[in-house]
Amino acid sequence: MKPDLNVHSYESSSSAGEPSFQSLKTWLISAANPSLKSLNHHIRQLHYLPCTDAERLELLDWFRPMITKAGVRLREQLQDSQLPLPEGLVNGLDELAVVHSIVADVYKMVLMKQSADMMHANDSSDEERIEQLRSLVLACYGATSHLAEQLRAVYEAYKPSPEGVWREVHHIYQFAHSIINSSNTISVDGRTGMDEFFMIEHVYKRSLLLGLCNPFHFSFRQFRDLNRTLNSRASLCTIHFESMSAEKLNLFSIDFDSDYPAAPVLTHNGNLLQGEHYAVLDTRELVDSLNREIDMIAAEAFVETNEHRRAEDLAKIEMLRRLVMNWGQHPVRRDKRTDEDVAQCHIAAGFDRIVSHVSRNGLLLGKMASTSDAATDLSCEIIDSSPTGYQLAFKADSEVQFRIGEMLALRSKEDPDSWSLCIVRWARYLSSDLVGVGVFILGTACQRIRVRIESRGLGQSADCLKLTKSGSLPRNRKLMIAPSSYYQPDARLEMTDGHRLMIRAGNMLISGIDFVVFDYEITD
């Protein structure tokens, strides 16, 4: 099998003459924390630098830690960022993705040359063949790793994957798998090239899981936890090349000729597609592991007295639940979406801010209902709707900023008396100046109440919202929206609703960044 990869063309833009191996190495030795723009400029030189493949790969070894440090510096700025992203951070993530793409092209160029040399080296000894094989697999690993990092940077910028990248990730993995299988009888001192292949397979699994988890549903902080989960748990997945039945859950069909990660296999599909261009990703062990972790964190979170740690635990549970859903349950949209005539709407973001503008009788008061308030400007439009939510479009320069998992209150300009309380579920850039946002409707009418946890004393109370008309949530239950720290299963709460009532907290239905939605029952 011969790799058929796309290597972009790079030409010298310098008027100072052609770079040399020594001049580029000198720059690498002297450079201290170069910018992504500077890295971009110098890495391009590897494509037209007059040097051997060994020298090219040596220079890449110098570049890699610099790229990693530049990525870390950029991501530190992202941790507390809100959407729409500042232009500087969007450009930074775009630049990081381009740098990884250029490095991947260098590895692909070396890979195709080495594979051609290996095909014509029929008289090589076993030891020479093993070294050729290991060099080839390491080139596959380098290309796969940087394509994976390119995808990560693109997803962190809430943008779709570039055309052709997934096809190349699949093709390199398939090629590496084929050459390992065809050379598995060659061994010198116990070395077969399998160690290097396992590294490729780990990166490949991480990439598949990242693409399958619907990354636009995660906040910047959750991306950090997601990356740790992928690093530690990807090995729990299995890739099968043999024929399998589609009667089990947690299976995904991989088409090596496709330009998407994989497709969920529904149990009614019968046997899976077979052939050299197909494989199956099995996530059963991974999903079982995540479910056990959810149970463990939940048991600790609801007895945690530190409010900050409890909020972090609840956010981790929400992230893991979403991973279980996407890697195991294959969610299918049930509600039909209706395209709307684009309608401008007023919008406000943040649980505390929204609660402070809700009256005791449920009316939204003050500036939040005023068009003069910058935080309720008309930079948002409703694109389509369903019984459970809306798709919104935000201008990239909108003054209203939000995070995934944050509460929004919105109303159409044409219906100023009708507000909806929603939670942000996903975001994705539709263009350079427009961000698409998916929101889930929590309720369309509410009342502000005062709630005190019985065990915390008279002074420990907070404003909460009682949903008097739920949106997409069960309508036969009493529902409350409260700060994350105010929820504990079976906790006794005192609710001031014109008069005082004792209630018992029931099941948590939704967890946001700083709030939870749970049902309750009146105990007296």
Give tens-digit pLDDT for 342-374.
567 778 888 998 888 886 655 554 445 444 444
In a domain, 173, yes or no: yes
Helix (H, G, I), strand (E, B) or coil at 316: helix
The whole-number pLDDT of residue 14 equals 57
Total number of domains constituting the chain: 4
In a domain, 223, yes or no: no
The whole-number pLDDT of residue 341 equals 56
The CATH code of the domain that includes 394 is 2.40.10.220
Judgement on whether residues 129 and 33 belong to the same structural domain of the protein: yes
Residues 6+ apart with CB under 8 A from 325: 331
The whole-number pLDDT of residue 170 equals 96
Judgement on whether residues 306 and 420 belong to the same structural domain of the protein: no
Point out the residues of the chain with pLDDT beneath 70: 1, 12-17, 120-124, 126, 183-195, 243-248, 266-274, 304-305, 307, 329-343, 359-379, 414-417, 455-459
In a domain, 2, yes or no: no
The whole-number pLDDT of residue 43 equals 92
Residues 6+ apart with CB under 8 A from 301: 310, 313, 314, 317
**Beta bridge mates, 345:** 380, 412
Helix (H, G, I), strand (E, B) or coil at 62: helix
Torsion angle of C-alpha atoms 456, 458, 464, 469, degrees rounded to 10: 100
Judgement on whether residues 315 and 358 belong to the same structural domain of the protein: no
Judgement on whether residues 435 and 458 belong to the same structural domain of the protein: no
Instruction: Please give the mean pLDDT across all residues of the chain.
Output: 83
The whole-number pLDDT of residue 39 equals 94
pLDDT digits (tens, 9 = 90+) for 302-326: 776 676 777 788 888 888 988 998 8
Judgement on whether residues 449 and 363 belong to the same structural domain of the protein: no
Domain-terminating residue out of 211, 245, 272: 211
pLDDT digits (tens, 9 = 90+) for 62-115: 999 999 999 999 999 888 788 999 899 999 999 999 999 999 999 999 998 888
pLDDT digits (tens, 9 = 90+) for 226-250: 988 999 999 999 999 876 666 667 8
Residue 108 near residue 7, CB atoms below 8 Å: yes
Judgement on whether residues 318 and 381 belong to the same structural domain of the protein: no
Domain-terminating residue out of 297, 329, 361: 329
In a domain, 55, yes or no: yes
Domain-terminating residue out of 329, 359, 394: 329
What residues make up the domain containing 249? 235-329
DSSP string of 339-376, one letter each residue: EEEEEEEEEEE-HHHHHHTB-TTS-B-GGGG-TT-GGG
In a domain, 218, yes or no: no
Judgement on whether residues 487 and 460 belong to the same structural domain of the protein: yes
In a domain, 229, yes or no: no
Judgement on whether residues 301 and 347 belong to the same structural domain of the protein: no
Beta-carbon count within 10 A of 53 CB: 16
Judgement on whether residues 112 and 162 belong to the same structural domain of the protein: yes
In a domain, 9, yes or no: no
The whole-number pLDDT of residue 464 equals 93
The whole-number pLDDT of residue 486 equals 82
Judgement on whether residues 77 and 130 belong to the same structural domain of the protein: yes
In a domain, 13, yes or no: no
Beta-carbon count within 10 A of 227 CB: 15
Residue 5 near residue 116, CB atoms below 8 Å: no
Instruction: Name which of 44, 167, 57, 60 is nearest 114 in CA terms.
Output: 57
Judgement on whether residues 108 and 79 belong to the same structural domain of the protein: yes
What is the rounded distance in angstroms from the CA atom of residue 147 to the CA atom of residue 141?
10
Judgement on whether residues 40 and 122 belong to the same structural domain of the protein: yes
Residues 6+ apart with CB under 8 A from 173: 140, 144, 200, 201, 204, 256
Residue 105 near residue 47, CB atoms below 8 Å: yes
